[in-house]
């Protein structure tokens, strides 16, 4: 086995082919059999911004403007969903880098088996259920792992690592902290084990890394400060994030938690439906006040929830199973030497991050997957330091491979049924939105519940060419973005839910229409009626103060 590992690793061309083949073939199989979908409406909206559906802007809110700038020439060359294509290409390259390093660290055969096991466990989320936070994490993991593996040298591998880390941070800035936390353990471990000359090179490498990554983040912040419209949006979106992303989930939707501070029941319902696009009433200051009034999770509650999360992962998704497989592998291979501290350190940092994310109320599936991916890769990278004989052991990698295949069968069988249904759903209401976008004489207001279908979940065909210039959601994270405000003003609206009353050229969809009516009625102080039109089956309603007799 040792001779075979050495032979494969000595044939650099073969090692390179295998490293590229594993993620590339996995990607082709998943896309061919199941297709691809957006995991959340965030990516659908982000791809539409990049494609120009919201007008000519480089501001992608959650993605660095520099990444948007990189995409623009590609869209000019050919209209395709470059937002997804570029990320998928970076992900395949990144996994190839990881496979190459694992083959070198674990032994070629063991590295191939481990990499195949990881692909089976994570493939659905990486290549089918597309999500930019997950892509960012994979790219960052590869970049920082390459820097770690090459620590003490400054060569082309170092520059590739810095490039991947930069690209990952451009796609999702918060991932830099998540991946950086666990990679920091290994970086420190390696730093103190190399000589002074290499330590100097390592310091230079890290200085360059932080300069380009934080420099890019500064450029993104600056882009939102030099334009008054986007500056105001950034302030509002920060307040909205504090409430909608961190606090709203701690509230009882059936009981007005803010009644004591004067919030009406109608306002409370609007807040819980994310339908609070009203710049005169739901201001940034007002929303921050509400967010501050919601108590944080207690440490005891967070500890209990962390424990429940870990227990739930024993019967969770495929990548959850992979987490426990790797925990067992790490335990079996820990030896009383310096390498054991590396594994324990990664585990401690992972635990701290898990607890913190739960405490802050920010552990959706894509963040949990990102955390587990980073943990899995860095543990496998660290095992040889604790147990040098790992490269001689075939039993545990093979058992893990078989176990993950067995555990993954139900998920992939379910996917065979769900994927076609999803494809049908993603095209089901296309005709309605096409007809709305073509009808520029009228403005169409959509509730937040409609954002998914409005965004168009056909991944390979994003909305283009000012598609949303007359379609505005009165909720969601693009509320009060300059292009949204401009679209409203063109039709004589500033406060969409209030100003739409008695506007003959404004139509609303069916979601929460009674709630919207009650909010407009409260704000205007007059009785408001809902009338139905046959203009568009998806958006048939208008609000009026005088209901005409039939």
Question: β-pairing, 541-544 with 443-446?
Answer: unpaired
pLDDT tens-digit readout, 301-325: 989 999 999 998 888 788 999 999 9
What pLDDT shows up at residue 463?
87
Helix H or strand E encompassing 126: none
3-state DSSP assignment of residue 529: strand
User: How far is CA 232 from each of CA 29, 282, 284, rounded to the nearest angstrom?
Assistant: 45, 14, 9
pLDDT band at 550 (very low <50, low <70, confident <90, very high): very low
pLDDT tens-digit readout, 167-195: 999 999 999 999 999 999 999 888 988 88
Helix H or strand E encompassing 121: helix 108-123
Q: Mean pLDDT over residues 77-101, rounded?
A: 95
Closest CA to 133 of 161, 174, 166, 162: 174
Largest CA distance in the chain: 90
Q: Percentage of the chain surpassing pLDDT 70?
A: 96
The number of beta carbons lying within 10 Å of the beta carbon of residue 69 is 13
**Which contacts qualify for 26-32: CB closer than 8 Å, 24 or more apart?**
26/119, 26/123, 26/126, 26/127, 27/88, 27/92, 27/126, 27/127, 30/123, 30/124, 30/126, 30/127, 30/128, 31/127, 31/128
What pLDDT shows up at residue 548?
66
User: How far is CA 490 from each of CA 116, 150, 250, rounded to the nearest angstrom?
Assistant: 54, 56, 38
pLDDT tens-digit readout, 464-496: 888 999 999 988 899 999 999 999 999 999 999
What pLDDT shows up at residue 2?
56
pLDDT band at 341 (very low <50, low <70, confident <90, very high): confident
Closest CA to 217 of 206, 227, 225: 225
Q: Mean pLDDT over residues 207-226, rounded?
A: 96
Closest CA to 516 of 530, 503, 506: 530
Least confident range from 202-211, 336-345, 504-513, 515-524: namely: 336-345
Report the distance separating Cα 97 and Cα 165, nearest Å: 12
pLDDT tens-digit readout, 392-414: 678 888 999 999 999 999 989 99
What pLDDT shows up at residue 427?
78
Report the distance separating Cα 192 and Cα 43, nearest Å: 41
């Amino acid at each position: 086995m040792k001779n075979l590992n050495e032979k494969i690793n000595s044939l650099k061309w073969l090692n390179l082919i295998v490293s590229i083949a594993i993620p590339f073939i996995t990607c082709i199989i998943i896309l061919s059999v199941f297709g691809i979908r957006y995991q959340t409406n965030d990516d659908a909206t982000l791809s539409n911004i990049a494609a120009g559906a919201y007008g000519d802007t480089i501001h992608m809110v959650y993605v660095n403007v520099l990444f948007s700038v990189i995409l623009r020439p590609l869209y000019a060359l050919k209209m395709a969903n470059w937002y997804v294509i570029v990320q998928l290409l970076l992900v395949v390259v990144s996994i190839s880098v990881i496979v190459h390093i694992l083959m070198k660290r674990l032994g070629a055969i063991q590295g191939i088996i481990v990499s195949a096991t990881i692909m089976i466990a994570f493939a659905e989320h990486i290549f089918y259920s597309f999500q930019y936070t997950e892509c960012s994490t994979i790219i960052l993991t590869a970049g920082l792992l390459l820097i770690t593996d090459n620590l003490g040298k400054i060569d082309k591998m170092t520059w590739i690592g810095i490039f991947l880390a930069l690209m990952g941070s451009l796609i999702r800035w918060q991932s830099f902290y998540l991946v950086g936390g666990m990679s920091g353990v290994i970086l420190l471990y390696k730093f103190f084990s190399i000589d002074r000359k290499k330590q100097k090179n390592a310091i230079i490498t890290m200085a360059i890394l932080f300069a380009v990554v934080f420099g890019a983040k500064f450029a993104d912040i600056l882009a939102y400060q030099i334009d008054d419209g986007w500056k105001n949006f950034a302030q509002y979106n920060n307040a909205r994030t504090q409430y909608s992303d961190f606090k709203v989930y701690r509230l009882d939707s059936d009981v007005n938690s803010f009644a004591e501070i004067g919030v009406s029941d109608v306002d409370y319902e609007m807040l819980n439906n994310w339908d609070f696009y009203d710049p005169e009433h739901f201001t940034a200051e007002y929303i921050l006040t509400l967010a501050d009034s919601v108590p944080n999770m207690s440490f005891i509650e967070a500890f209990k929830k962390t424990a429940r999360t870990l227990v739930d992962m024993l019967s969770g998704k495929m990548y959850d199973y992979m987490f426990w497989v790797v925990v067992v592998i790490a335990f079996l291979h820990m030896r009383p030497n310096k390498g054991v501290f590396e594994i324990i350190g990664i585990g401690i940092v992972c635990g701290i991050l898990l607890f913190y994310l739960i405490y802050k109320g920010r552990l959706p599936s894509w963040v949990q997957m990102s955390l587990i991916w980073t943990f899995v890769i860095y543990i496998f990278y660290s095992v040889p330091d604790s147990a040098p004989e790992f490269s001689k052991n075939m039993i545990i990698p093979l058992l893990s491979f078989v176990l993950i295949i067995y555990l993954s069968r139900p998920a992939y069988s379910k996917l065979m049924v769900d994927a076609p249904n999803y494809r049908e759903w993603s095209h089901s209401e296309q005709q309605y939105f096409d007809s709305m976008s073509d009808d520029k004489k009228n403005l169409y207001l959509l509730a937040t519940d409609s954002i998914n279908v409005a965004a168009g979940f056909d991944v390979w065909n994003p909305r283009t060419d000012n598609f949303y210039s007359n379609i505005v959601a009165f909720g969601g994270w693009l509320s009060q973005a300059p292009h949204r405000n401009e679209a409203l003003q063109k039709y004589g609206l500033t406060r969409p839910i209030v100003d739409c009353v008695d506007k003959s050229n404004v139509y609303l969809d069916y979601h929460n229409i009674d709630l919207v009516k009650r909010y407009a009625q409260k704000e205007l102080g007059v009785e408001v009626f809902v009338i139905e039109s046959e203009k568009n089956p998806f958006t048939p309603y208008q609000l009026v103060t005088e209901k005409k007799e039939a």
